[in-house]
């Protein structure tokens, strides 16, 4: 099977670092047209952009806060200006800000919900309209196992990721007739800036994994390349758990 995504325009939110940057680098190697999005991590975004431009000229970088409607519109406008269309939106932007519920401030709660869930609403609202006009598009929302089983000290994060799953299933029903699919991706445990200092999360995740040598990052990247291709066409409203945790 020949998997080719060189004709796809892919936007990844929050893609200056973490798994977002890994997806960007992977798509770039596959010669896709790609949009790097960042809000505060200008140094990381610039470094990633320079690295990719060495072997793929079909790349732009756009600063946009995806929790603000006007900036999401700007992200779409810059994508259309550069490439004329958008084929795939990957809602990857997210943060952790943990605490036990008696100690969690209202600000901490709202901040995580805003970035991890409300940004998905805004991006889907604005990008889906463009996809619906073209009668083609794919949306992938990055969720987490924490949204399915919960996690102590992460009620805000777990709630946002659970909300992402419900949102994905509902939106898939709304826009499927326009040939726009919406799916949620729950990666296996991957060390990122969000979790590298939290040993407890790592131990819990590894302890539930039934595979001896999980390679969650490669599994995620390989799946995303396939899912972005024309071989993955009629699947929508699904949650893909890319791990072996029970």
The CATH number for 143's domain is 3.40.50.720
Domain membership flag for residue 2? no
For residue 227 the two structure tokens come to: 């899912």
pLDDT value for 99: 95
Left if phi > 0, otherwise alpha if psi is -120 to 50, otherwise beta: which for 134? alpha
pLDDT value for 199: 46
For residue 235 the two structure tokens come to: 């699947």
Domain membership flag for residue 220? yes
Domain membership flag for residue 4? no
Strand order in the sheet with 180-187: 59-63, 33-38, 9-12, 88-91, 137-142, 180-187, 239-242
**What's the structural domain count of the chain?**
1
pLDDT 10s digit of each residue in the chain, 246 long? 899 999 999 999 999 999 999 999 999 999 999 999 999 999 999 999 999 999 999 999 999 999 999 999 999 999 999 999 999 999 999 999 999 999 999 999 999 999 999 999 999 999 999 999 999 999 999 999 999 999 999 999 999 999 999 999 999 999 999 999 999 999 988 765 555 455 455 444 445 566 655 678 999 999 999 999 999 999 999 999 998 776
Domain membership flag for residue 164? yes
Domain membership flag for residue 156? yes
Domain membership flag for residue 23? yes
CA distances from 58 to 15, 54, 123, 214 (A): 16, 11, 22, 32
Which structural domain, as residue segments, surrounds residue 155?
Answer: 9-242
Active site residues: 157
Domain membership flag for residue 49? yes
């Amino acid at each position: 099977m020949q998997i080719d995504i060189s004709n796809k325009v892919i936007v990844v939110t929050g893609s200056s670092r973490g798994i977002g940057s890994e997806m960007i680098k992977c798509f770039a190697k596959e010669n896709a047209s790609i949009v790097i999005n960042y809000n505060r991590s200008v140094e990381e975004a610039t470094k990633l952009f320079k690295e990719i431009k060495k072997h793929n000229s079909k790349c732009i970088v756009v600063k946009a806060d995806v929790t603000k409607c006007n900036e999401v519109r700007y992200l779409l406008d810059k994508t259309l200006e550069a490439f004329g269309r958008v084929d795939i939106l990957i809602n990857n932007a997210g943060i952790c800000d943990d605490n036990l519920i008696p100690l969690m401030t209202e600000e901490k709660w709202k901040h995580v919900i805003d970035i991890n869930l409300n940004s998905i609403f805004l991006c889907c609202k604005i990008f889906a309209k463009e996809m619906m006009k073209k009668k083609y598009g794919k949306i992938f929302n990055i969720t987490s196992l924490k949204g399915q089983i919960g996690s102590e000290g992460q009620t805000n994060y777990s709630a946002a990721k659970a909300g992402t799953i419900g949102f994905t299933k509902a939106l898939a029903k709304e826009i499927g007739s326009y040939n726009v699919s919406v799916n949620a991706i729950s990666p296996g445990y991957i060390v990122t800036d969000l979790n590298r200092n939290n040993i407890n999360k790592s131990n819990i995740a590894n302890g539930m994994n039934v595979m001896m040598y999980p390679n969650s990052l490669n599994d995620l990247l390989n799946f995303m390349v396939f899912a972005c291709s024309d071989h993955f066409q009629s699947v929508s409203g699904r949650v893909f758990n890319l791990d072996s945790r029970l």
